[in-house]
Amino acid sequence: MKSSRRTFLKKTAAAGSATIVVPTILSSSVFGANDRINAAVLGVNGRGKAHIQGFMAQDNVRIKTLCDPDMNILKDRQKEFKETYNKKVGLEQDMRRVFEDKDIDVVGIATPNHWHALSVIWACQAGKDVYVEKPGSHNITEGRKMVEAAEKYDRIVQHGVQLRSSPAINEAIKLLRDGYIGRVYMARGLVFRWRGDIGDQGTSAVPEGLDYDLWTGPAPKRPFTKNLVHYNWHWHWDYGNGDVGNQGIHETDLCMWGLDVGLPSEITSMGGKFLWDDCKEVPEVLTSIYKYPDEGKIIQFEVRPWCTNTEDGVTVGNIFYGEKGILVVDGYDSYKTYMGQKRTPGQSGKDGENSGSEYDRGAGGTDGHFANFIEAVRKHDKSILNGPVETAHLSSGLAHLGNIAYRLGKVLKFDPKTEKFVNDKEADKMLTREYREGFEVPDKV
């Protein structure tokens, strides 16, 4: 059964390879406060470093294993782990070996985007609870399969949109729900990041220590190039989703959360490469519009890569428009309001400030989001998750829809109930992808 918009939002208003063997009986253990939780982190080059910190900041949580296809990076993280925490940690290149380890209770997934959904599905099948980085999926169909896997195997899956654990942002959402700026009809997501020319380094030999087959996983296996490994895969369609599907997932999620909507029924998108003659495949500049005719609401989303203006002081964040004023979210942990034609400053808030709010400020951020995840794991209660798996599917899905509209160059009609386009076989083909043998996202999880 598809998750309804209300199910998605019901708690947020208030605040060449062997396949995995799925256990026939999966544990749904509830951990006591004194029970140690053993963790593994998959992908430790970028956001994986934040996962290490997030797990190690929690009481009675131990990282047992670090996993990455690149042994060079693993050895660097192992050395840093010993220096920082004075503890040993195991290393593994193949995540399937991590899932086979019955001592590991939870995994943090910070791999490239093309691995996210399959690794979540495998983890759920193996009885692990999961914290997965944004975007939850590389395409819409595998996002839905991720939701189905979490439900079928009764696993706790947290999406890495840490602003949902920000007390200030939760306060902002409550203001929107309470009508502080009146009827809210539009949200804008802004991603103005400094993204330069990445050039084109061509192909080269696979570096020693890197298992490139494992790095590639479900995606097509291209000849090795430094333009993919380890960061610039974000700008290639087979592996990443551009900045709307990178930084932008925080903002797509907040647009949907603030407007109280799910996936849209009309999408259009336009952009292109205007600055650099490099090997990026994704657009540097992208403007997407998502319309909700039945709700009388609209989302506008903009990606800009270089010199630009700020908007109400914001370069990365959100602006909500209501009949009485606007609410501006700057980044992950603060908001301001401006009321009426004269833009009179209204209520504002920021994590860590004492504004007289009922919320315990300073509890947000990545560490706070991990704390929320670990609490849900200990209680085996997904209802207390701030970023449940549905957010991973839907906020990522919004970005995917914008990218599809851009790539096809036309206005698209979409049915949120079936999660298919309306009489458009060409667009429907882009809801999924071809997977390499041994790394398929299954039709039945």
| Tens-digit pLDDT profile for residues 86-139 | 999 999 999 999 999 999 999 999 999 999 999 999 999 999 999 999 999 999
Q: What is the CATH number of the domain that holds 253?
A: 3.30.360.10
**CA angle 286–262–382, rounded 5-degree value:** 120
SS3 198: coil
- Residue 160 and residue 171 in one domain: no
Query: Does pLDDT of 18 surpass 50?
Result: no
Q: Is residue 211 part of a domain?
A: no
Domain that holds residue 127: 5-20+28-164+369-388
pLDDT band of residue 33 (cuts 50, 70, 90) is confident
Strand spans (E) along 259-341: 266-272, 285-292, 297-304, 316-322, 325-330, 334-339
Residue 21 predicted with pLDDT over 50: no
Q: 342 CB contacts (<8 Å, ≥6 apart)?
A: none
Strands 129-132 and 106-109: parallel
Q: What is the DSSP string of 247-258?
A: THHHHHHHHHHH
275, 380: one domain: no
CA dist list (Å): 384 to 118, 158, 374, 381, 387: 24, 10, 11, 6, 9
Give the contacts of 4 (CB within 8 A, at least 6 positions apart): 262
The answer, yes or no, to whether residue 353 has pLDDT greater than 90, is no
423 and 279 within one domain: yes
Looking at the structure, tell me whether residues 236 and 382 fall in a common domain: no
Is 60 exceeded by the pLDDT of residue 6?
no
Tell me the average pLDDT across 243-263: 98
Looking at the structure, tell me whether residues 251 and 123 fall in a common domain: no
- Domain match, 93 and 61 both: yes
Q: Give the H/E segment covering residue 109.
A: strand 106-109
Alpha helices in 300-429 (DSSP H): 365-379, 389-408, 425-428
- pTM of the full predicted structure? 0.92
Q: What is the pLDDT of residue 28?
A: 55
- For residue 162 the two structure tokens come to 């840490």
Q: Over 70: is that where the pLDDT of 294 sits?
A: yes
If you average pLDDT over residues 326-348, what whole number do you get?
Answer: 97
What's the structural domain count of the chain? 2
What's the rounded Cα separation, in Å, for the pair 361 and 350? Answer: 8
Model confidence at 22: pLDDT above 80: no
Q: What is the pLDDT of residues 168-209, one digit of tens each?
A: 999 999 999 999 999 999 999 999 999 999 999 999 999 999
Mean confidence (pLDDT) of the chain: 92
Q: 410: which DSSP letter?
A: S
Is 439 domain-assigned? no
Verify that 156 and 181 share a domain, yes or no. Answer: no
- The two three-digit tokens of residue 388, written as one number: 């449940």
Name the CA dihedral angle for 256, 111, 442, 243, rounded to a multiple of 10 degrees.
Answer: 40
Let me know whether 35 and 129 are in one domain.
yes
Q: Which pLDDT score, from 0 to 100, does residue 352 have?
A: 80
- What are the CA-CA distances from residue 444 to residues 217, 229, 273, 407, 441 (Å)? 19, 31, 38, 29, 9
Using pLDDT thresholds of 50, 70 and 90, give the confidence band for residue 13. Answer: very low
At 363, the pLDDT band (50, 70, 90 cuts) reads low
Q: Are residues 74 and 115 in the same domain?
A: yes
Question: Residue 147 is part of a domain; what is its CATH number?
Answer: 3.40.50.720
Please give the Cα distance from 439 to 19 (Å, whole number): 8
Identify residue 119 by its one-letter amino acid code. Answer: S
Residues facing 191 on adjacent strands: 303, 316
Any domain includes 382: yes
Identify whether 283 is part of a domain: yes
From start to end of 141-204, where are the E strands?
A: 157-159, 184-192
Q: Is residue 312 part of a domain?
A: yes
In a domain, 378, yes or no: yes
More confident residue, 352 or 42: 42
Same domain, 186 and 236: yes
* One domain for residues 154 and 292: no
Same domain (yes/no): 175, 192: yes
Q: Does residue 209 sit within a domain?
A: no
Residue 442 lies in a domain: no
Nearest CA-CA partner of 330 in 354, 305, 312:
312
Helix axes 140-152, 116-125, angle to 10 degrees: 20
